[in-house]
Chain A
């Protein structure tokens, strides 16, 4: 009995050990290596937005790289982005994501945009406002571990994802392992990431079968958590910040690279597989 698992969009399945042969590519993408892609660049000069539950400013895993903390507040249908003086993380999750980015790209500046809060019943709207703000600020990479299921907001998210793409803001989204709509993580203009269980932050896979194009380390990851602590965590939302970190390093080394080119470079420098 398979317990109906066959019907699930198991985004991580292509990245499982025995299935990985299916990812093999015949294109000459491997002519670019990681040295040329990002080498010893540490992400300096690139800002990475963490659209999440907030980031704990003083957490040792953040290394004083949190340069601003914003908060999205929703009043009816109107969302405003304001300074979050507390720089708190109401869960620990945003700090975990920021810590992963910082470990890979310690030179990158981190910007927290907190979209979870007591007054944010209209979560989709808060989330859209956060993406809009990040694009307007000209931030190079945004890590999004959340997505909206609202069909009513699909067109808005599609427009925002396209605007980000053309404005040079790379959206790195955690895939959602649940059937049905998920915006913007299923759009072609973003980098969509699921988890694999190879315990190495430098291992990522490219999957030629969309919608989820990348697999990164997301199982049993040692992550920062609130209160200055650390825990071990599993989920696609811990895979995405690994690629956000490497994207920051690529953009630091190649400031002119467009989101399309960064995605192509990440595909070209993905961990090789043999079938």
Chain B
């Protein structure tokens, strides 16, 4: 049996490769576990008897608020629409963390005209509450138009806050799952339970630390690249194949020693 606290260079190399791929795969997943978020907006629409409910999440790579899920008769058009994170009611709520409800928005002819162009629906009233994590705003839950025609009361603002909290918990949970170190630790622990490696926590920590030490930091441009690749899922297979070939060429160039520069 191998000594787990001193793994062979080859197995550490393998673990590091797994870590790098898991990290990249994790970043390619759309944040928020779309299924859970979708069920939250569906429940919101039913409870408020609203024309639409949607959740927009902040995408750091593009610096935009992107509508990820929606429900309700007038909701679907907004999925995929992105807005600047400081503009409009959703942007204000995202930026300030303050929930607001506004009514009679159609009285202002300029109101929401650009979003309406993109979604085909101009609401009369909007209730927007922030999705707040411990430190930061993750996005916005937006509810449009009660079908009864009533506006939104203070109680509605609080109730929407409860749904927003559920969404935040769901997002946090899926982000934790995607955390590579957690993933590796759980994997090693499972292997330990099967007797393949020691289940000693200290040894597992050391292995995880060694395997993730070489992962790029959050500000590494390679993650911006991963985020862009994630958006390609909407592309047709021909485009994806072309891009993969182009990337192959770039990767071969990147792996060649650069002229005029001492390598390491």
Q: With A149-B97, A236-B98 in contact, is A231–B161 under 8 Å at CB?
A: no
Nearest-Cβ distance from residue A56 to partner chain B, whole angstroms: 12
Cβ B86 vs Cβ A232 within 8 A = no
Number of chain A interface residues as a range? 35 or more
Among A123, A145, A177, A235, max chain B CB count under 10 A is at A235
In B93-142, the 8 Å CB interface with A consists of 95-105, 107-111, 130, 132, 134-137
Check B177 for interface membership: any CB of A closer than 8 A: no
Among A152, A179, A218, A219, max chain B CB count under 10 A is at A219
Cβ A233 vs Cβ B102 within 8 A = yes
Check B159 for interface membership: any CB of A closer than 8 A: yes
The contact of A178 among B88, B97, B103, B151, by CB within 8 Å, is B97
Q: How far is the CA of A147 from the CA of B159 in the complex (A)?
A: 21
Cβ A3 vs Cβ B101 within 8 A = no
Nearest-Cβ distance from residue B88 to partner chain A, whole angstroms: 7
Chain B residues near A53 (CB-CB < 8 A) = 86, 92
Cβ B158 vs Cβ A177 within 8 A = yes
The contact of B161 among A8, A182, A234, by CB within 8 Å, is A8
The contact of B107 among A149, A150, A197, A231, by CB within 8 Å, is A231
Check B162 for interface membership: any CB of A closer than 8 A: yes
Chain A residues near B111 (CB-CB < 8 A) = 225, 227, 229, 231
Nearest-Cβ distance from residue A128 to partner chain B, whole angstroms: 14
Cβ B101 vs Cβ A234 within 8 A = yes
Check B10 for interface membership: any CB of A closer than 8 A: no
Q: How far is the CA of A176 from the CA of B158 in the complex (A)?
A: 11
Chain B residues near A28 (CB-CB < 8 A) = none
Taking CB as reference atom, which chain B residue is nearest A178?
B132
Check A5 for interface membership: any CB of B closer than 8 A: yes
Number of chain B interface residues as a range? 35 or more
Taking CB as reference atom, which chain A residue is nearest B137?
A149
Among B97, B132, B151, max chain A CB count under 10 A is at B97
Nearest-Cβ distance from residue B248 to partner chain A, whole angstroms: 34
Check A207 for interface membership: any CB of B closer than 8 A: no
Taking CB as reference atom, which chain B residue is nearest A90?
B87
Nearest-Cβ distance from residue B168 to partner chain A, whole angstroms: 10
Cβ B98 vs Cβ A235 within 8 A = yes
Cβ A145 vs Cβ B96 within 8 A = yes
In A65-106, the 8 Å CB interface with B consists of 90-93
Check B153 for interface membership: any CB of A closer than 8 A: yes
Check A26 for interface membership: any CB of B closer than 8 A: no
Chain B residues near A5 (CB-CB < 8 A) = 158-159, 162
Cβ A234 vs Cβ B95 within 8 A = no
Check A226 for interface membership: any CB of B closer than 8 A: yes
Q: With A4-B162, A118-B84, A145-B96 in contact, is A91–B104 under 8 Å at CB?
A: no
In B158-195, the 8 Å CB interface with A consists of 158-159, 161-162, 165
Among A118, A180, A234, max chain B CB count under 10 A is at A234
In the A-B complex, the 9 residue pairs with the smallest Cβ-Cβ separation, listed nearest first, are A229-B108, A146-B96, A235-B100, A234-B101, A232-B103, A227-B110, A116-B86, A91-B92, A233-B102
Which residues of A approach B to under 8 Å, CB–CB?
3-5, 8, 10, 12, 53, 90-93, 116-118, 120-121, 123, 145-147, 149-152, 174, 176-180, 182, 195, 197, 218-220, 225-227, 229-238
